[in-house]
Amino acid sequence: MKTTIYKSIDERIYCDYSNECLYHGIVMVSKTDEVKNLRGDKFVLKEGDYVYLYEDIGEGDYIVFEGYIIPNTFNSGPCKWFCKLVGEHRHIEYWDEYNKRFGM
């Protein structure tokens, strides 16, 4: 991934990548400006923000990804904000692999 900052699951914003991937490397994030991470911290999204996202894929496992907030210019539903993923192959990483990369 582009950044080297470690972000735990509870610091990340939930995103349903499996169902909200609009185009390759672009996912829907929010219908509104305000989102919360898993521990309840509120964030106001704006274009260009760098965000850390996760999806719970069941059985205690997650996928994680990150990127830049972009506005909905795709005429795609009620979503206001999207994320343009960054990294190799619009990088999506399993949580255990992510942790290994950071020596966790």
Q: What is the pLDDT of residue 22?
A: 73
> What is the value of pTM for the model shown?
0.88
Average pLDDT over residues 68-75: 90
pLDDT digits 0-9 by tens, 18-63: 887 777 789 999 999 999 999 999 999 999 999 999 999 999 899 9
CA distance 71 to 48: 9
* DSSP 8-class letter at 96: H
Q: Which residues contact 56 (CB under 8 A, 6 or more apart)?
A: 14, 62
Alpha helices per DSSP H over the chain:
17-20, 95-101
Q: Which residues contact 28 (CB under 8 A, 6 or more apart)?
A: 15, 16, 20, 22, 76, 77, 79, 81, 82
Does the pLDDT value for residue 100 go beyond 70?
yes
Does the pLDDT value for residue 88 go beyond 70?
no
Q: What is the pLDDT of residue 1?
A: 44
